[in-house]
Structure formats: structure tokens, C-alpha cells
Amino acid sequence: MRAIPTTPEAPGVTLARGVNRMLVQRGLAAIVEFPTTDGRRMDLCALGPKGEIWCIEVKSSRTDFMSDMKWSDYLPWCDRFFFAVPENFPAEILPPEHGLILADQWGAEVIRMAPHDPVASARRKAVTLRFARMAAERLTRLTDR
């Protein structure tokens, strides 16, 4: 029998998996590649049990961080903003005013908690509704085969 070739996953995908596992352990539910209404796409958007919204921007390397500065566009969409990076990432280049998560494919750890900057209530409602609809749509696609 011939082995089925596999394609290695992109580093960002494996980091997002580890972050997602940590979020679940903390009682948050996350959606990968969550679009905002202004056309951006968060790497991970997480919703806490009391409605708190976290945005996690995954950066797999220094080059990844330096070549993509649109992360600041996500700040108005969340209560807490984090960078998730691998252990060998030069964390000193990240803005210190945001949260920091160290991650690998198996899990993650919050190294620096992001400050709480509450989203306006109308935006919170819109993001929460969008989150719920997207989660339901993705579940439907997975189960309707």
C-alpha cells in the first residue's frame, strides 16, 4: 500500500491550533479566520462566557510581523488584543501595550495579559451576532454532507 502524501501545515495554522486549545481551557470559544465588517480577517476571535471579545494575531516569524502591520485595524473590534508567537520569536519587537501568548501546536500560555479596553455596546452586539452566525454556518457545513 502506498503512503498518502501529506502537506506540512503552515506555521501559523499550527500556532492557531495551540492557541485555540488554550482558549477552550480558559472557557472561551474561538473562531479561526473571523472576518470583520470592514473586510479584515482576525486570525482568531474568541468570545468569553460573559461576552468579552479577544482578538489574537498569530505571528510565526519576525518577517511575518514586519510584513503585516494591519493588526492595528483589529483593535476597535475587541476588548483584549494579543499576539501569539512561537517560543523562539523575538518578543521584544512586539508592542508592549498588547497581550502576549507563547504557542506551539499543542497548546499556549498567556505571558502578558492584554489590557481591557471595552468595545462599544453596539459593536459588541454586532460582533457577537456575527460570531454566533459564523459558528452555526461552519457547523452546518461540517455536518450537512
Closest CA to 11 of 106, 130, 138, 104: 104
Question: Is residue 1 situated within a structural domain?
Answer: no
Question: Is residue 4 situated within a structural domain?
Answer: no
Question: Is residue 49 situated within a structural domain?
Answer: yes
Question: Is residue 60 situated within a structural domain?
Answer: yes
Q: What is the pLDDT along the chain (145 residues), one digit of tens a residue?
A: 445 555 557 878 899 999 999 999 999 999 999 998 888 899 999 999 999 999 999 999 999 999 988 899 999 999 999 999 999 999 999 999 999 999 999 999 999 999 999 999 999 999 999 999 999 999 999 888 7
pTM: 0.89
Question: Is residue 3 situated within a structural domain?
Answer: no
Q: Is the dihedral of CA 92, 94, 96, 101 positive or negative?
A: negative
| φ, ψ at 137 (rounded to 5°) | -65, -45
CATH number of the domain at 113, please.
3.40.1350
